[in-house]
Amino acid sequence: MKLVLSFLLLLSFSCFTVALTSYFSRINAQMTYSQGVFTNLCGTGTAATAHSCNQGCNVKTGSCSAKQATVVKFTCDGKVTDCRNNESSFSTSQSLEGVSCGKTVQLDIFNKVCRTDKGWVCGDRDLQDYLVWYSGDCPAKTSTATTPQVADKNTCDTQQPVAIQFRKSGGSWQSGPSVTAAGITVGEELEVNCFAQNGTKLLPGGTIQVTAPQGKPVTVSSSSELKNYRSFAAGTHSFSCISNSIASCGANDKITIQAAKVENKAVTVNPVKPISGKAIALSSSAPVAKAVPAHESACTGLAIVNGNNSLVPATVKLRASGTDNRGSLQKYRFTFGDGSVVEADKPELDHRYEVSGTFSVRAEIKDSQGNWKGSDACATTVTVKPAAVESHKSACSDLEVTIDNNGQAPATAKFKVSGYDNKGSIQKYKISLGNGTTRESDTQTFEEKYLEAGTFVAQAAIRDSQGNWKEDSTCRKTVYVSTQPLTQQPATGTPTIFTLAGLISGSAGIGIQYWKRRLKL
Amino acid sequence: MARPQLPSWILSVISFGLIGFFIIWLTLTYLPVLIVEVKYSSFQLLKSSFGVTDLRSLFIPNFKNLDLQGYSNYQDYGITIPVLNLDEPVVFNVDPNDEQAYGEALKKGIAHASGTSFPDSSGLGYYFAHSSSPELRSQYNAVFYLLGKLKLDDPIYIWQEQKKFKYLVSEIKVTQPEDISFLETEYDNEAIVLQTCWPPGTTSQRLLVFAQRVE
């Protein structure tokens, strides 16, 4: 019996250990040095993709070394993943030795000395290796302490006044219930601090939430400091600061982010990277993008270069055009109206029609950010003349779907059905909307308002000149009507309480058996 | 005065009841994980030792190994991750705020969160699945358990309506469940994020694997 119990106990801990080992091996943030813990390391996070991680930083010795004087040390209060305060001079080696409790230290190795007469001259591509380490929480004050603060409990009263302050990176702090003159435009970096005790300290245990215009509250920082926040929505952003360690303690303030100023001259815009807990050391004097114009792209035209009105089989050359103010167009998609759809890297394409008739042709462009865009300007008609002898051919060739409200329910979808018939005109159009509704019309266009979110398969058909309904796979499209955006990441694991209950019950059961046998009950 | 004692048989019932519950928990939660881990280990062993992905190819002449770089059993709606030997169906447009709705979807495979981007469109597409689940009803209760083994630049393929979209892992991180700040970020490329609960056997945190579209 003892053997069985021991085996079960061993098995349970093995399983849990396997899972935890897997977990901890992935999360370098849990690695420790001395009494502290690493909160960010080269080799994890977005920043790692831009760096070489040249092994100059050693987590075991808590130091970073380089052959030349290119190592810099930053020290910040509290636990953060990106620290840029109290910059040291550049040297060949820096270590975590002698750091007091409650501090974050960031050691960076660059490929050159970044602090010059012109200010900070390095960017993330110059960063070779880094580590960010938090020295650990300071011990709680005891009643034997002799400082006057002993009697002070960490209540919200001792923290007042609590306020949120904003500044553009490199600018001066501004506060107030509604900051409108901070000079922040969309895409620019914003720093937000949750200050306590009249701006002299950060609020203990603070977290920061933001609600963008027409958005929902989102936690953007698990500390009282927020750096590198960028929003691409102009308008009033509401920030909330809440302390996790002090009951009912926090503040709510707003800031207005202005729309981008579009200049007449060409503006070079660097690619926007996801914001995360990266350790890119930019000082307050680092250059900041001036203004990011809103992304605009469009399909502006579709021309028939040659081949129109030719005898079947006809080769027709088409050329699409489009614009994009942030980069190059990636692809072009041509829907030829005879059931063929082709994606191409170039704007000009030949297509051979094997049947005569009149074809609705359209083009779409894929812009630099991956959006497919069509327009009325990118639609035209190709005519192919019949041969002397040609059998009757007809088909439903295309179903074009556009949907408003960003596809979010309730959303109105517009459908345009196209087809061809080489011996006459199409008599009718029909569409099954995927929600149980079927409509028939003499015209090509249909409209349907989807009140509920869901996935709907729309199937269109045409009735040709001989009265036959033609339904083809090219006239079938899936319409996605989406729900509200996600408010919390869904739970996709075994509830933690179930796991705890399992482990505790196993231990308790084995314990009872053990004592029962020992006491010979 | 003698202390009153519980009869021995009551203690036995209680202890074996507790041990029974423990065994049920262990089986439900970690057996699927164990199966996935064993499959993955054998896949790795076959690949590194013999250069094949299927044991049968060692015995059956002309047996074709499945190449998940270019093939999926779910070419209408699926995800393949060759380094994990993962090839599973995707249910698109699932309400991520409705536990019942996504619970049903997760019995069929990997769920795509409604309101996030679809393949071949800009923005971030959000896909999620179980790392463990206390039910033995389907094969999908530990689909994303292996996500933690992915490394930067590992390829991920999404299939939609016979089209294949290739992504490379760009970032791996763990967040709190309520942290959805990454959805507010503007991405300069088509991107996806694969999410599962972490560590396996709990719902305390979320593992996020970000990938950028390359083909």
Instruction: Please write the tens of the pLDDT for every residue from A454-507.
Output: 999 999 999 999 999 999 889 999 999 988 878 888 888 888 888 888 889 889
Instruction: Look at residue A11 and tell me whether its pLDDT is greater than 60.
Output: no
Angstrom distance (rounded) from CA B91 to CA B138: 15
* Residue type for position B47: K
Tokens read off for B22: 């423990």
Q: Where are the beta strands (DSSP E) in A325-375?
A: 331-335, 341-344, 348-353, 357-366, 372-373
Poorest-pLDDT segment among A26-35, A90-99, B108-117 = A26-35
Q: Averaging pLDDT over each range in A158-162, A222-226, A341-345, which range is the top one? A: A341-345
3-state secondary structure of A283: coil
Q: Which residues of B touch A44 (CB under 8 A)?
A: 172-173
Ramachandran area for residue B210 (φ above 0: left; ψ -120 to 50: alpha; else beta): beta
Angstrom distance (rounded) from CA A461 to CA A442: 12
Instruction: Look at residue A279 and tell me whether its pLDDT is greater than 50.
Output: no
What's the gap in Å between the CA of B191 and the closest CA on chain A?
Answer: 10
Cβ atoms of A120 and A84 within 8 Å: the answer is no
How far is C-alpha A62 from the geometric centre of its chain's CA atoms?
33
Residues 232-251 of A with CB under 8 A from B: 232
3-state secondary structure of B93: strand
Q: Indicate whether this model's pTM tops 0.90.
A: no
pLDDT for the residue numbered A476: 93
What share of chain A has pLDDT > 70, as a percent?
77
pLDDT for the residue numbered A448: 92
The more confident residue out of B100 and A281 is: B100
Q: Which residues of B touch A48 (CB under 8 A)?
A: 152, 171
Q: Where are the beta strands (DSSP E) in A222-262?
A: 225-229, 235-243, 250-257
ipTM for this model: 0.79
Using CA coordinates, name the residue in chain B closest to A210.
B181
pLDDT for the residue numbered A483: 87
Cβ atoms of A478 and A437 within 8 Å: the answer is no
pLDDT digits 0-9 by tens, A348-390: 999 999 999 999 999 999 988 888 999 999 999 999 999 878 8
State whether B116 and A509 contact (CB < 8 Å).
no
Instruction: Look at residue A7 and tell me whether its pLDDT is greater than 80.
Output: no
Average pLDDT over residues A332-354: 93
Beta pairing partners, A236: A256
pLDDT for the residue numbered A445: 93
Phi and psi angles of residue B11, each rounded to the nearest 5 degrees, phi first: -60, -40
Q: CB neighbours (10 Å) of residue A109?
A: 29
Cβ atoms of A93 and A59 within 8 Å: the answer is no
pLDDT for the residue numbered B110: 93
Q: Which of A483, A488, A512 sits opposite B180 (nearest CB)?
A: A488
How far is C-alpha A15 from the geometric centre of its chain's CA atoms?
34
> Between chain A and chain B, how many beta carbons pairs sit less than 8 Å apart?
251
Digits of tens for pLDDT over chain B (215 positions)? 555 667 778 888 888 899 998 888 888 888 888 888 888 888 888 888 887 777 777 777 777 666 777 788 898 899 999 988 889 999 999 999 998 889 899 888 899 999 899 998 888 999 999 888 777 655 677 889 899 999 999 999 999 988 999 999 999 999 998 888 888 777 777 899 999 999 888 888 999 999 999 87
Instruction: Look at residue A244 and tell me whether its pLDDT is greater than 70.
Output: yes
Q: Which residues of B touch A482 (CB under 8 A)?
A: 93, 114-115
pLDDT for the residue numbered B195: 94
pLDDT for the residue numbered A292: 55
Q: CB neighbours (10 Å) of residue B134?
A: 19
Interface check for A231 against chain B (CB to CB < 8 A): the answer is: yes
